[in-house]
């Protein structure tokens, strides 16, 4: 007769439990989704004087502003993690009967609900405390607005067609505006307008992509109120508006004075091509045959689109730091 295997000692069981809890918490806050918060850094990257300060022997300014920008980004990442955790807590019963979502840490029991709630409150408290103490109260206010807007979106407003995409775009605008507050960088109206229009364009593109999938209405309630024709029209309008607004930004006298060049308009064709290429990807006219989970994945794996994006960045840098008005 074989003897039963010995159970691990209590210390090892406790260690394994802690490890499972930590892994579960990391998965719950969805760090792979935090890439959206790089928009908080946008005002810093568009502030040419930072590079000039470093080149002219004042790197301290560069370090201070860069530090504040990254600190602001961390604040938004913590708040995003709190929102994802609250979503899983509220939907825990529905997730437990879902074939895929039942594997989420809270639904699966890897992260106990009684621990997840104080953990979430802790994330919010730490994020807003850092915002107030290390940045400024205006940044903290915008960060709090972002948090509550996401809660409202997740619980109710994501089910309302067109309003759902509008709120997503508003979230990106808040990120950019907060980035300006964190670094004491003036954010132009053109930057906010371009951000909002681009976010709307990409959001409508994602809904159009989702509408092509099977059981679209079951995947997202708001999709039942969308139609391919309405989304195609919305994509066309926001795409054109984004290109026109960007061109107006490059031709604006304040923009030309700030960057000390009249040649930024030369970057507009790259923007137009990027918008056109995204429309082709969303419509299915180009691609790899099997559609990805999101149009963003297809976009970032499309070689012409990526090369165009890199070319846009290179030309922007060359114009801003090399060419001067004649």
- Quote the CA–CA distance of 226 and 158 in Å, as a whole number: 13
Give per-residue pLDDT as tens, 176-187.
999 999 888 888
Instruction: Return the pLDDT at 295.
Output: 67
Q: At what angle do helices 268-283 and 228-251 cross, to 10 degrees?
A: 170
3-state DSSP assignment of residue 161 = coil
H-type alpha helices, 110-185: 113-130, 137-155, 163-183
3-state DSSP assignment of residue 279 = helix
Instruction: Return the pLDDT at 73.
Output: 93
- Quote the CA–CA distance of 52 and 106 in Å, as a whole number: 49
Instruction: Return the pLDDT at 289.
Output: 45
Instruction: Return the pLDDT at 49.
Output: 59
Residue closest to 147 by CA, chosen among 199, 245, 71, 76:
76
Low-confidence ranges of the chain (pLDDT < 50): 54-55, 215-218, 289-290, 326
Total residue count of the chain as it appears in this document: 326
Instruction: Return the pLDDT at 140.
Output: 95
Q: How many CA atoms lie within 13 A of 36 on its CB side?
A: 25
Give per-residue pLDDT as tens, 183-238.
888 888 888 999 999 889 988 888 887 776 554 444 556 667 777 888 888 888 99
Instruction: Return the pLDDT at 50.
Output: 58
């Amino acid at each position: 007769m074989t003897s039963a295997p010995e159970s691990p000692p209590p210390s090892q069981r406790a260690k394994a439990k802690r490890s499972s809890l930590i892994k579960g918490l990391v998965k719950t806050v969805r760090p792979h989704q935090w890439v959206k918060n790089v928009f908080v850094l946008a005002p810093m990257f568009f502030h040419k004087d930072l590079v000039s300060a470093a080149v002219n022997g004042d790197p301290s300014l560069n370090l201070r502003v860069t530090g504040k920008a990254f600190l602001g980004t961390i604040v938004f990442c913590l708040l995003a993690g709190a929102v994802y955790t609250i979503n899983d807590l509220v939907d825990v019963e529905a997730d437990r009967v879902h074939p895929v979502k039942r594997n989420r840490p809270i639904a699966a029991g890897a992260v106990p609900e009684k621990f997840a709630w104080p953990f979430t409150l802790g994330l919010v408290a730490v994020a807003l405390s850092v915002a107030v103490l290390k940045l400024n109260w205006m940044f903290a206010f915008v960060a709090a607005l972002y948090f509550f807007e996401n809660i409202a979106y997740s619980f109710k407003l994501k089910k309302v067609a067109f309003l759902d995409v509008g709120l997503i775009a508003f979230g990106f605008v808040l990120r950019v505006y907060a980035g300006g507050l964190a670094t004491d960088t003036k954010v132009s109206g053109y930057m906010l307008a371009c951000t909002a229009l681009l976010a709307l364009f990409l959001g409508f593109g994602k809904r159009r992509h989702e509408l092509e999938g099977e059981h679209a209405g079951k995947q997202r309630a708001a999709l039942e109120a969308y139609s391919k024709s309405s989304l195609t029209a919305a994509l066309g309008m926001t795409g054109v508006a984004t290109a026109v607004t960007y061109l107006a930004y490059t031709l604006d006298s304040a923009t030309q004075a700030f960057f000390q060049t009249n040649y930024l308009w030369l970057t507009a064709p790259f923007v137009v091509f990027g918008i056109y290429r995204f429309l082709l990807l969303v419509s299915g006219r180009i691609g790899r045959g099997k559609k990805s989970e999101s149009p963003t994945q297809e976009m970032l794996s499309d070689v012409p689109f990526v090369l165009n994006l890199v070319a846009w960045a290179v030309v922007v840098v060359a114009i801003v730091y090399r060419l001067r008005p004649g």
